[in-house]
Amino acid sequence: MRIAVPNKGRLHEPSVDLLERAGLHIESAADRKLYAETVDPDVSVLFARAADIPEYVWDGAAAVGITGRDQVVESGRDLVELVDLEFGRCRLVLAAPEDGDIAEPADVAGKSVATEFPRITREYLEREGIDADVVEVTGATELTPHVEMADAIVDITSTGTTLRMNRLAVVGEVLESSVRLYAHPDHADDPKVDQLVTAFESVLAAENKRYVMMNAPRERLDDVREVIPGLGGPTVMDVAGDDHVAVHVVVDERDVFEVVNDLKAVGASGILVTEIERLVE
Ligand X SMILES: Nc1ncnc2c1ncn2[C@@H]1O[C@H](COP(=O)(O)OP(=O)(O)OP(=O)(O)O)[C@@H](O)[C@H]1O
Q: Which residues bind ligand X (CB under 6 A)?
A: 8-11, 49-51, 68, 70-71, 88-90, 156, 158, 177
The alpha carbon of residue 193 and the mean position of all alpha carbons in its chain are separated, in whole angstroms, by: 18
Name which of residues 7 to 26 contact ligand PRP (CB under 6 A): 10
The alpha carbon of residue 224 and the mean position of all alpha carbons in its chain are separated, in whole angstroms, by: 35
CB of 149 to ligand PRP, least distance (A): 16
CB of 13 to ligand X, least distance (A): 10
d(CA 253, CA 86): 17
Q: Is 162 in the site for ligand PRP (CB under 6 A)?
A: yes
**Pattern 47-66, binding to ligand PRP, x per CB under 6 A?**
--------------------
Looking at the Cβ atoms of 10 and 25, the one nearer to ligand X is 10
Q: Is 138 in the site for ligand PRP (CB under 6 A)?
A: no
Looking at the Cβ atoms of 90 and 183, the one nearer to ligand PRP is 90
β-bridge mates for residue 93, sequence order: 155, 173
Looking at the Cβ atoms of 89 and 218, the one nearer to ligand X is 89
CB of 54 to ligand X, least distance (A): 11
Among 28, 129, 138, 139, binds ligand PRP (CB under 6 A): 139
Select from ligand X, ligand PRP, none the partner in contact with residue 18, using the beta carbon and a kind-dependent cut-off of 5 to 8 Å: none
Select from ligand X, ligand PRP, none the partner in contact with residue 118, using the beta carbon and a kind-dependent cut-off of 5 to 8 Å: none
Q: Is 161 in the site for ligand PRP (CB under 6 A)?
A: yes
CB of 161 to ligand X, least distance (A): 9
Looking at the Cβ atoms of 10 and 111, the one nearer to ligand PRP is 10
Looking at the Cβ atoms of 140 and 272, the one nearer to ligand X is 140
Q: Is 160 in the site for ligand PRP (CB under 6 A)?
A: yes
Q: Is 113 in the site for ligand PRP (CB under 6 A)?
A: no
Select from ligand PRP, ligand X, none the partner in contact with residue 160, using the beta carbon and a kind-dependent cut-off of 5 to 8 Å: ligand PRP
Looking at the Cβ atoms of 162 and 195, the one nearer to ligand PRP is 162
- 3-state SS of the chain is CEEEEECCCCCHHHHHHHHHHCCCCEECCCCCCCEEEECCCCCEEEEECCCCHHHHHHHCCCCEEEEEHHHHHHHCCCCEEEEECCCCCEEEEEEEECCCCCCCHHHHCCCEEEECCHHHHHHHHHHCCCCCEEEECCCCHHHHHHHCCCCEEEEEECCCHHHHHCCEEEEEEEEEECEEEEECCCCCCCHHHHHHHHHHHHHHHHHCEEEEEEEEEHHHHHHHHHHCCCCCCCEEEECCCCCEEEEEEEEEHHHHHHHHHHHHHCCCEEEEEEECCCCCC
Count of CB atoms situated within 10 Å of the CB of 14: 16
The pairing of beta strand 44-48 with beta strand 112-115: unpaired
Q: List contacts with ligand PRP (CB under 6 A).
A: 10, 139, 142, 155-162
